[in-house]
Structure 1
Amino acid sequence: MNKSLEDSIYFKSKQKASILFDLANIKEEQKDYQATVELLYQFIEIADSTYFSEQSTKIQQLIHQYDIKRKVDQEQRRSKYLLKNVIGIFLILCLVLIVFFQYRINKRDRQRAINEQKLAQAQEKYNNLRYSINESQRIITLLRKEQSDFSQEAEKYRQEITERETAIERLKTEKEGLRTWLFKQSSIYQKVEKLSKQKVTNKKELTVLTNHEQKVLKEVVMELYADYISDTKNQYPLLTDEDLLCLCLEKVGFSNQTIALCFGNTDAHVVSQRKYRMKERMKESK
């Protein structure tokens, strides 16, 4: 009776151990090393008996191997998780940068549109002022002619002429201020203003306008001060284009040093010499 019970227990233990071992193999194929190790530990508990002592030693070696694989597997999962987080954060940062730069671009475009609108309005007002001045001058000419024909109304005409001349001076002042404002909005003026603020110990280190920038400056000034240049040219025909440009820059309020930089020179003495020659040409033109 005792022998039969012992055989039954042995058989059941062996059967259970075999089942646990098979399950451990299945979990190993599924790469579930945690479950594999747990099943092998259960197998060891049975194998530690006198029935499986030799096989128990082998299983312990397998458990050690599975422990290593489990740790490697955990480390790989942790690395993948970390990599996903890093990629996610990087993508979010990229998105934020894209949104930020798009906002800056849109803001810059809106500001440029506003500036262009202001410039267009100022240009239109400037043209209207110039038209008003020309129209007033035309009327003055007619009034003066009428004055000679109708002496009895001379006083009335003189008064109207005086009023219109006063209005012309006021409009000219307003036009001059607006013209100066338009010039200051140009990029070439801002370039000249920046050059005028240079602080160097040696004048030779000063930066001047390039040939292209001098050409742009001349075109802008000649366009804005076309009427002033035309009147001055008619009065003093011996003046050169450079002389007229110099007069316009002086009219804006630039110093001799700044005007020298506009002509590609670093020494203000060059401008003083040019002004002296200009006066001589003006005397000769009379």
Structure 2
Amino acid sequence: MEVHAIETEYYISLLRDKQEETQKLLSQKENEIRKLADEKAQLCNVIFKETSIYKTIERLSRQDKTKNKQDLRILLENEQKKLRSTIMEIYKDYIEYLHQTYPKYTEDDCLFSCLSICGLDDFTIALCFGNVNKQIVAQRRHRIKLKVAN
């Protein structure tokens, strides 16, 4: 009986060691996956920054924000369509991930997320949505937080 108890304790100890080892390996693999996802996002950003629509956005972002709001140029409807199709193509996998993880996300939410990970400021993102008021970006960010929370 005592021998059986000692054997059982030994096997339990082996199983715990194996579990810790497996946990470490799993954690390491998760970190590698996160790193690869970050690298992929950076590559998507590089590709996006080489497009003509990005160059248009970049030009718009350099406008004097202190000018009369009526004089500021925004992304026109046909340019917005080009932006959407470009983003949907380049960030296809990321958008797919967003839809799977957050089924309530709209196309605009996905577009906003992609523009955000590209590092664009709120004013520039507002211009991409055809608006000069960056308050719409704060509102969208708030709505997205509500969608994620529910």
TM-score, reference length from structure 1 = 0.44
For residue 159 of structure 1, give the secondary structure of its aligned residue in structure 2: helix
2:92 is the counterpart of 1:210: no
* Structure (1 or 2) with the larger CA radius of gyration: 1
For residue 167 of structure 1, give the secondary structure of its aligned residue in structure 2: helix
Residue 53 (structure 2) aligns with: 188
Shift of 1:215: 0.8
Give the AA of the match of 1:231.
Answer: Y
- 1: CA distance between counterparts of 2:49 and 2:42? 11
Q: Which runs of 5+ in 2 are unaligned?
A: 1-14
Task: Report the CA distance shift for 1:167/1:281 in structure 2 as closer, same or farther (over 3 A).
Answer: closer
For residue 130 of structure 2, give the secondary structure of its aligned residue in structure 1: coil
Alignment of 1:1-286 (within 5 A): 153-199=18-64, 201-284=67-150
- 2: CA distance between counterparts of 1:240 and 1:167? 29
Shift of 1:151: 7.5
Shift of 1:245: 0.7
- 2: CA distance between counterparts of 1:176 and 1:157? 28
Task: Report the CA distance shift for 1:189/1:168 in structure 2 as closer, same or farther (over 3 A).
Answer: same
Give the AA of the match of 2:49.
Answer: K
Give the AA of the match of 1:186.
Answer: T
Task: Report the CA distance shift for 1:233/1:163 in structure 2 as closer, same or farther (over 3 A).
Answer: same
Shift of 1:156: 3.6
- 2: CA distance between counterparts of 1:254 and 1:260? 10
Give the AA of the match of 2:38.
Answer: T
Give the AA of the match of 1:177.
Answer: Q
- 2: CA distance between counterparts of 1:274 and 1:176? 22
Give the AA of the match of 1:196.
Answer: S
Give the AA of the match of 2:29.
Answer: R
Give the AA of the match of 1:274.
Answer: R
Greater RCO, CA 8 A, separation 6+:
2
- 1: CA distance between counterparts of 2:55 and 2:90? 16
- 1: CA distance between counterparts of 2:46 and 2:58? 14
Shift of 1:152: 7.2
- 2: CA distance between counterparts of 1:205 and 1:222? 30
Give runs of ≥4 in structure 1 deviating > 6 Å.
none
Q: Which runs of 5+ in 1 are unaligned?
A: 1-149
Tell me how large the CA RMSD over aligned residues is: 2.0
